[in-house]
A and B are shown apart, each in its own frame.
Chain A
Amino acid sequence: MTSAQEPLASAVARPRRDLLLGLAIVAVAAVFVRALAFTPIEARQGPAQKILYVHATSAIVGLYLAFGLMAVASLLYLWLKDAKLDRVAESAAEVGLVYTTAVLVTGPLWGKTIWGAWWTWDARLTSTLFLWFIIVAYLLLRGAVEERDRRARYSAVLGILASLLVPFIHLSVYLFRTLHPMPIVLKPSAPSMPSEMRVTFFAGLLAFILLFAALLRARYRLATLRDLVHDHEQERA
């Protein structure tokens, strides 16, 4: 039997159990336990400070890693016109959107306890929300354009433009007077955190990077499968 005659369902290999995803879920759960039960409570902010371990780590992975990968894959797609790169960009955008959603739902919980307000229209919060909407638009655009090459080209351009917001979001706390705290990790000097909190923070960062890799792989597999189904349905039509 030649590869062309092999059953279609075996064309995109599905791991019987997604070990990477399982490992990532265990790692994130372990960080939750460490953060909530074994990390000291910050004296001035109280237990709400522990939101940092899931909020800031999700922001770092979502904004820098996911949208950075989306931008690089989009740029490479425009150059090489390889459908795999388009699928990587699409997958990174969707997973990045999930991370940014996590950032936007946890931030207000911290804000309410510390600032006394769920939301404030300052530069950091507003630009992050704006990026969230652009990524939603990016995914809607992908759903709206039927022709594959045109869809990939349009979304690559939008993906690159969206990623230009990321440095602005990072610098917004320096450029504008904002309520949002200054970076405590992504800054030129050493992280300003006691060692026990620092360990929890970096463990959280590693766990969310692992989760990102697992989700990206699963989402890429889904995109490959979708294209395969679409191609074969068109062949049959």
Chain B
Amino acid sequence: MKFKCISFLLLLLIFLNVPDAFCQNSRAEEIDQKKAEKAKALKHYVPGKVETFVERLSRPRNGVFPVVGSAYSGGGFALGVGYQKLIGDRDFAEIHGLYSIENYKQLTATAAFAQSPIGLYRTDLLLKYVDAGHVSYFGIGNDTTEEDKTNYGFSPVQFRATETLHPARYIYAGGSIEYLHINTGAGDRSNPPPIEQVYNPVTAPGIGTDPEYVIGGVFAAFDWRQSPGYTTSGGYYRADWYNYHGTNNDAPTDFRRVDVEASQYIPVLRGNQVIALRALASFTDTNADEEIPFFLLPRLGGGEELRGFRSQRFRDRNRLLLTAEYRWTPSKFLDMAIFYEAGKVAAKAGDLDFNDLHHCWGIGARFHAPAATILRIELAHSNESTRIIFGTGLLF
């Protein structure tokens, strides 16, 4: 009996303690044993929360998204929310709202549909409402001063359909039809004074009116940039023609507007630096002795044109803007730039010469993806002001 107990104890000890030793009589057995151990505790891969979140972000989908941008020129930084609905292969509809630190509001609905799978054509619809309570007005002409500043309320509603054709590489052309209704009124700020306290229908044509227009337009462009959203080489040349046809008593005047733009990007050292040049000119004309409402005149000043000056600082029948930027590329996602701009407005197109140009300069950083500019942060300076600019999208 005693011997049986000892034998049992021996077998137990061997069973409990020795297997490792036995299983490691060869390297192959040692490795196989580790695999057998893992086989006892298999589990399927479960993505972590961060991975799941990133995966959801990176796939196209319907749903709500945040919006950062500008509600209207001069309204400052705006935040909002949007909703996108994908339709079919590549069409979509989107609606978003923005609210700015200057209490400006914007509601925009867009849709792109009937798109060619290879980009030969596309149709875009836009419905947009803006409520800007105190837009700056400094009077008309190139010689206005900051002391002339007033404010007015501006609230347009527009509905536009645009057809864009892309018949050949680099070439774009198209047309648009738009309904535009504008409500104007006194500004909601007392300082600077509301517009009606300083200006009248002669010095501010269209003051206090609520005009309606149907606008027909055509455009043509030659675009050999790397992409419309970001580029370090190529060029972009575009001309737009619009006919504004007044359709209510507040818009008795028809007028026409032409915008021409030429941008050139010259890479240096394989894009380490880029010289970016832009010339932009706008021209309007009316029938004899008729006026264009001041809020539809070509203008300069603000975050996109003549950036060292306040928003909508200069207005007149015609404008000229020249921009030169020296850009460098610390990263594939960050460009830096030093820029210089000169521009003027004039009553006559023939006066758009290089005399009496307004100048500004500045420095900026642009965060971008390979084909899209996401955020511009710029410091711009002129003889009137120094401004910090936050913008989205490619300036030019």
Answer yes or no: do A and B interact.
no
Q: Which B residues have a C-beta under 8 Å from some C-beta of A? A: none
